[in-house]
Structure 1
């Protein structure tokens, strides 16, 4: 045969295929060559349906007058094995024997941590099937004997005659038991209430391998406060209900209650987790996730040791005080943080004027500066993540270059030139406030050769989002196209799945704004700005362009940087620009050859950023500014796609709004 791949053979006379005359063909590459994906073992699985009537009876019915259709099959076979109910009424004695070894269900015995190439083909006579492997996502790498751009599915919809190859790792189940509660901590030497996980902030790191199932049993011991945890960067293919977005995908976890998150980490890389309720992330509820490749595989770069470093900012005011200020009249801004934390450690000046005696102790071991002890000549992989509530940081390791090889769990992020900064403290001034270097760095980053996944060359829908700061009913709010986002009482995922259409505003937000007349350099007037719970409904499996446009805030001559994060997806960053986006000219300059893929991206002051993504992950997904106070003030939207493709929702995510009667522990 001229091409390697997966093929089938079957009868082509009358209806004999239906009677069992079929099988599989596997064609490998010549010795010394290898497929573009790794596997340890190779298995074929043929799906078929099975009728108890003979093909003679069926053929007679199909050609008779009156016409007699074959009807539904009596069984579905996996590799020639199925199970019919021998106790069904009307079964003739002696014809059905449930103990017959010929109908023992097919089982594939696997070795943990090994990768199995599953060649899945359908030779059904009638049925279109939905194939799923419980607890696993499937990455399709071959279709009908041809290698394809890998794509991930939870359910494989497979029609007769179709073939798919899925490399699958039998992962471990990694079980974590967490208790979330308030404790007095001094991460920067100043004593205040922090939210901890098992007594720690940052919380415990989740360390796993690709294909592992993560189970986190979380008990909320905050006494008077709800909680929810988002798994930042995990796409939750097939498990959108465990994304952890309160009001979007789940009801919050009530005080005293426990909740179990269960999901598969289907890709290697660096991820984060953090609170997604109110402003709890800022109080210390966050941590890191490290997912390595399966045994025998390696990243496209070498290292001896692996370390995670989370950067955060730290306020001495409680989240209650800050939330009250943000939602009060007159408005009270959170201002600059008191400290910057590196892996939960910082240093506040305990001699600063106005510090109450006993609250700040510079000798407290909790605020001992973070130090990474290294072995000379060894290479350390530093997974550096930021979960600041407000701050955009400039991170430097004195006397070292830094070569970026991964961002947002994707090995395609490669600046043109790593730089070495002078080993001296730079003078105060423009270096820290000038946004030009940030924009230049963003534009310079392209996909690394060998990890280029070009985006679709055209889009099906374009949504331009104008970020403005508005006064709505006396409150300062952030708005997108004059709409400030509010969470509904009933989470969108549940409301949409069970057709609770009254649970949120059915009117979608606008796809754009007045391009011609809007002046992004002036203070927004926007007297018609309002709040809404409306969402964007995206057609499943279409390509969507999002253009994020920054403008002046309510203070003259002031525009801000906003890091936007998309749940459930990666996107291609196809363009950046200064000034107002020109919908006619600017798309002609998009990078559609080697753009980076990310899940979080910055929009620079008085500038725009263009994103492109596929709406191919059934569920409901938040898209919002990752600055804690901005999201609290309404700077976000929600996308729905393919909700009809989801099965039943777990009742554990319910219990609020219109779902109070649905909840089951």
Structure 2
């Protein structure tokens, strides 16, 4: 593709960026055929799909499956029962998510809506039009190299531009200020609207790096859903959306006919957090009247200037905190469990390891050490691509060594206790240096089937102070509370919302703050839990949650599909009986 006067080789699906939107109806079973014609090992993750009793289709390389190798194919089969709303799909390999992604929209089944004939299938008036709005990045570099840079602790790379539905927008005309012709694909996304109609905007943040603030000049939004769960509607003029999140909003075309910019502004924490260049982009909301575009709509005949929204400051962290704090659940799939069986306190931070396995080294930005991201002071070691099987296969067949890694239990609390939000720890230097040393290990935490689990995620200030959008595969989480500063159980448990907490698959943990969640471990399998900032994931802010089988076949993980990709065609796991006495073959 050519953007900003530069041709870049891009890996895409079906020649599209974003990739094709997949639409389904609640209750459908989906078969998605993935043919890998790229030079990379590929898996596809169906973000937010619960994959009940179907961890095999979750699409995490070397965790739930061996990757689809170049020249091979695999069919993902999964149901979307009990879910409706805006989900999405993306590659779960290296940084290829930046160009391999698309919307996954699950519409309500009108036959089960419970309303009168012709009534809205939604818990709000049916909109006149539904529009996916995918916010993403444009990188003019090889994405595999970007991932290698991040794994090497170098995350100062920044995307060249931000995009709305794959379009860079007019901020990048003239090759980013370098002069030259404006390329057609850089003209920006345009949403044509008709006065008096209502539009359901399905917002998806597919970016690698940043939370975004989204506004449309002259218009307000009614927020109606987040992460494919309906929320009690509230009105706002700005949406805050982190990587991995989806937010559904109603926008009434009730402004004076004209042109209004749609702006997506990338956020980052203020200094002394390390500052990297971030990008914003803008598209256009353009009114039509009686089938004719309102004057000022382009074609060199503009007479009415487009209206530009007043955006929050790029360092504003309060707006996203209060936006997410406004989310409450409209419909709950089940009551919030009254109490937890297990509790974990999980710190999210940054540390360093010595290069080449050396026992000691200089740190604080020295080339002798590598910056890593951590969960409870340990950085996740990905299972090697050359292992004989994925972690899920090793778990299913009881082959502990088959995945090629020794597993380490994720502790219930961090290894070190300190003032987690002390801003003096942010800059490199002697204050934070003692907290840097860490190690890499394949972290897992096992839960008995049906256990109610409380997790408090605490962001820390060591070498950075950003937020952390934490995504748990295979489960939704009740977000009980959030706060700035250090979590204090004696004070903060009393603030838990057990009545109508939002139900989320991606929870934004505030920078220099915390979020408390509760989930029911009732979906057997091996599930990824990770930060959805790509640099944090590449650098190791990951753990694996293993949910054990239940007491009967109908609440236990079935065997893998026969065409599940193999790590090595010459390798296979031994035939072993499962816990119910049924012999399964790999």
Normalised by the shorter chain, which TM-score bucket? 0.7 to 0.9
Alpha-carbon distance in structure 1 between the residues aligned to 2:511 and 2:238: 26
2:529, 2:545 within 8 Å by CA — same for their partners in 1?
yes
Residues 355-394 of structure 1 correspond to what in structure 2 (within 5 A)?
362-394=181-213
Is 1:321 aligned to 2:222, yes or no?
no
Aligned with 1:299 (options 119, 122, 144): 122
Residues 539-550 of structure 1 correspond to what in structure 2 (within 5 A)?
539-550=448-459
| TM-score, L = length of structure 1 | 0.66
Alpha-carbon distance in structure 1 between the residues aligned to 2:411 and 2:180: 52
1:653 matched to which residue of 2? 564
Deviations 1:630-657 (A, max 9, x none): 1011011110102462121124334227
1:459, 1:544 within 8 Å by CA — same for their partners in 2?
yes
Alpha-carbon distance in structure 2 between the residues aligned to 1:545 and 1:336: 35
1:511 matched to which residue of 2? 412
Alpha-carbon distance in structure 2 between the residues aligned to 1:640 and 1:362: 54
Is 1:346 aligned to 2:168, yes or no?
yes
Alpha-carbon distance in structure 2 between the residues aligned to 1:368 and 1:228: 32
Structure showing greater relative contact order (alpha-carbon pairs closer than 8 Å, 6 or more residues apart): 2
CA-atom RMSD in angstroms = 2.6
2:215, 2:309 within 8 Å by CA — same for their partners in 1?
no
2:222 matched to which residue of 1? 403
1:620, 1:643 within 8 Å by CA — same for their partners in 2?
no
The verdict on how the C-alpha distance between 1:519 and 1:281 changes in structure 2, with shifts beyond 3 A counting, is closer
Is 1:566 aligned to 2:472, yes or no?
yes
1:122 matched to which residue of 2? none
2:377, 2:415 within 8 Å by CA — same for their partners in 1?
no
2:3, 2:175 within 8 Å by CA — same for their partners in 1?
no
Cα shift at 1:326: 2.1
2:396 matched to which residue of 1? 497
Cα shift at 1:413: 4.9
Residues 38-437 of structure 1 correspond to what in structure 2 (within 5 A)?
185-186=1-2, 190-222=6-38, 224-266=39-81, 267-282=83-98, 284-296=99-111, 297=113, 298-302=121-125, 303-328=127-152, 331-347=153-169, 348-352=172-176, 362-415=181-234, 417-419=235-237, 425=308, 431-437=313-319
- What are the ranges of 5 or more consecutive residues in structure 1 without an aligned counterpart? 1-184
1:464, 1:546 within 8 Å by CA — same for their partners in 2?
yes
Is 1:455 aligned to 2:336, yes or no?
yes
Cα shift at 1:414: 3.4
Aligned with 2:370 (options 463, 470, 475): 475
1:14 matched to which residue of 2? none
The verdict on how the C-alpha distance between 1:413 and 1:390 changes in structure 2, with shifts beyond 3 A counting, is farther
Alpha-carbon distance in structure 2 between the residues aligned to 1:495 and 1:631: 23
Cα shift at 1:544: 0.5
Cα shift at 1:344: 0.7
1:480, 1:636 within 8 Å by CA — same for their partners in 2?
yes
Give the structure with higher Rg (CA).
1
2:377, 2:416 within 8 Å by CA — same for their partners in 1?
no
The verdict on how the C-alpha distance between 1:241 and 1:524 changes in structure 2, with shifts beyond 3 A counting, is farther
- What are the ranges of 5 or more consecutive residues in structure 2 without an aligned counterpart? 114-120, 240-254, 261-306, 355-368, 426-431, 551-555, 575-584
Aligned with 2:514 (options 608, 612, 623): 608
Cα shift at 1:476: 0.8
Aligned with 2:320 (options 426, 438, 441): 438
Deviations 1:159-187 (A, max 9, x none): xxxxxxxxxxxxxxxxxxxxxxxxxx136
| TM-score, L = length of structure 2 | 0.75
1:654, 1:660 within 8 Å by CA — same for their partners in 2?
no
1:538 matched to which residue of 2? 447
2:223, 2:231 within 8 Å by CA — same for their partners in 1?
no
Alpha-carbon distance in structure 1 between the residues aligned to 2:180 and 2:77: 40
Deviates further, 293-302 or 196-205: 293-302
Equivalenced residue count is 466
The verdict on how the C-alpha distance between 1:311 and 1:255 changes in structure 2, with shifts beyond 3 A counting, is same
Cα shift at 1:585: 2.5
Alpha-carbon distance in structure 2 between the residues aligned to 1:293 and 1:426: 33
The verdict on how the C-alpha distance between 1:510 and 1:213 changes in structure 2, with shifts beyond 3 A counting, is same
Deviations 1:198-222 (A, max 9, x none): 1111111111111111111111111
The verdict on how the C-alpha distance between 1:343 and 1:491 changes in structure 2, with shifts beyond 3 A counting, is same
2:51, 2:79 within 8 Å by CA — same for their partners in 1?
yes
Cα shift at 1:588: 2.1
